[in-house]
């Protein structure tokens, strides 16, 4: 279905809804809009974080990865001494 046909279909379906349901439909559409905006903000935050290592030298970045892996292994060591 083309976008214009989809809009026409939605408008047609809205026109046959009783007025009592329109507020519920409007609330639902608002919640969808808010979810889209939250996803957009999350995407921006992730992309900003992803670029935070751009100014780090390759050597420093490799050191960071090595230390992070070592720390992770120590933190999540599953060997339990009884």
DSSP label of 54: T
State the pTM of this model: 0.50
Q: What is the model's pLDDT at position 71?
A: 87
What tens digit of pLDDT does each residue of 22-55 get? 999 999 999 999 999 999 888 888 877 777 777 7
Q: What is the model's pLDDT at position 52?
A: 73
Give the integer Cα–Cα distance in Å for 82 and 59: 40
Domain ranges in the chain are 3-75
Task: Outline where 1-82 has alpha helix (H).
Answer: 3-16, 19-50, 58-75
Question: How large is the C-alpha radius of gyration of the chain?
Answer: 25
Average of per-residue pLDDT values in the chain: 86
The CA angle 26-29-31, to the nearest 5 degrees, is 110
In the predicted model, what is the mean pLDDT of residues 51-73?
A: 84
């Amino acid at each position: 279905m083309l976008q214009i046909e989809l809009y026409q279909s939605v408008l047609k379906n809205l026109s046959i809804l009783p007025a009592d349901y329109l507020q519920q439909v409007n609330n639902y559409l608002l919640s969808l809009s808010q979810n889209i905006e939250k996803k957009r903000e999350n995407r921006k935050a992730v992309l900003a974080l992803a670029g935070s290592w751009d100014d780090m030298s390759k050597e420093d970045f490799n050191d960071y990865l090595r230390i992070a892996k070592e720390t992770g292994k120590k933190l999540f060591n599953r060997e339990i001494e009884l």
